[in-house]
Amino acid sequence: MIGMDGLTELLQGHSDTTYFINFWATWCAPCVKELPDIEELHREYAGQPVRFVLVSLDFPELLNDRVIPFVNNRGIEIETVLLNAPNENIWIPMVDSTWSGAIPATLIHHEDKRFFVEGKASKMKLNNGLKSVLN
């Protein structure tokens, strides 16, 4: 579980790493449909300086009963955290000023390069976004 400090760290990143951050929830059907594509990208970029993180927006009290079993039952190997930052009016604009808060949403960033997409995105769109940030 991460709070505002942990989210801020993910959003600031480190200069030697590209961050692929997907905001999702177990109850969000488009989010769940998007996960296999993200997992494929995670495998394809293994060994490269890309850190994939799934940020669950489920309620914190569902961490042990819903989120962890969901991740384990599907064999998700991507780093998964649950965001415990109740004031979305503060953290949503930190992710992207155009984000309405709808999920899924993906932010890919490295230093001053950014790619953001709101809503379910195809593997091709996510891969193109990742390539644009890596280049």
Query: For residue 16, how far is the Cα from the chain centroid?
Result: 19
**pTM of the shown model:** 0.95
Do 23 and 52 contact (CB within 8 A), yes or no? no
Asked if residue 90 lies in contact with residue 110, where contact means CB atoms within 8 angstroms, the answer is no
H/E segment holding residue 12? helix 4-12
> Is-contact 105 119, C-beta < 8 A?
yes
Q: Which domain holds residue 106?
A: 4-22+34-129
* Residue 58: per-residue pLDDT: 95
- CATH code: domain of residue 15: 3.40.30.10
- The domain tally of the chain equals 1
Neighbours of 11 (CB within 10 A): 15
Q: Say if 27 falls within a structural domain.
A: no
Tokens encoding 31: 């989010």
What does pLDDT average to in each consecutive run of 10 residues of the chain (135 residues)?
89 92 98 97 96 96 95 96 91 96 97 96 98 94
- Does any domain span residue 134? no
